[in-house]
């Protein structure tokens, strides 16, 4: 995984903030950074899995990510799932979720 020190700190901060406010199940980095094919323009792809989610929670998470991006001059791109969506819904079969499960690195 090719994360800079700034990216490592930003992901750590993100995990701490999410864990303190929500029922965080999993946080994974995936995409070009994990595959080692990132460029200077690459974003940092992060999957957030929560026990439960709704529009208000997702809005709060986007605000947290926006602040972290601004503070660190980064672009963290997030994908949010609820455990229920994965366990009981069709999300477990979605292409993006399968890619994340295959290549994603838990933080």
CATH code of 56's domain: 3.30.460.10
Show the tokens assigned to 95: 């292409």
33-85 pLDDT per residue, tens:
999 898 888 899 999 999 999 999 999 999 999 999 999 999 999 999 999 98
In the chain, the percentage of residues whose pLDDT exceeds 90 is: 82
pLDDT score, position 25? 97
How many folded domains does the chain comprise?
A: 1
Structural domain range at position 94:
5-106
Give the model's pLDDT for residue 55. 97
Residues 89-107, mean pLDDT to the nearest whole number: 90
Q: Residue 12: what pLDDT?
A: 97
CB-count burial class (<10 Å; 0-12, 13-18, 19+) for 12: exposed
Beta bridge partner(s), residue 48: 27, 80
DSSP H or E segment with residue 84: helix 83-88
pLDDT for 41: 86
Q: What are phi and psi of 54, to 5 degrees?
A: -155, 180
């Amino acid at each position: 995984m090719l994360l800079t020190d700034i990216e490592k700190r930003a992901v750590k901060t993100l995990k701490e903030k999410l864990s303190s406010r929500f029922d965080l199940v999993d946080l994974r980095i995936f995409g070009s950074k994990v595959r080692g094919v990132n460029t200077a323009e690459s974003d940092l792809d992060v999957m957030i899995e929560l026990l439960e989610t709704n529009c208000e929670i997702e809005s709060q998470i986007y605000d947290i990510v926006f602040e972290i991006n601004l503070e660190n001059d980064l672009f963290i791109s997030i994908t949010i799932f609820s455990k229920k969506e994965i366990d009981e819904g069709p999300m477990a079969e979605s292409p993006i979720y399968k890619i994340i499960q295959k290549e994603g690195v838990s933080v």
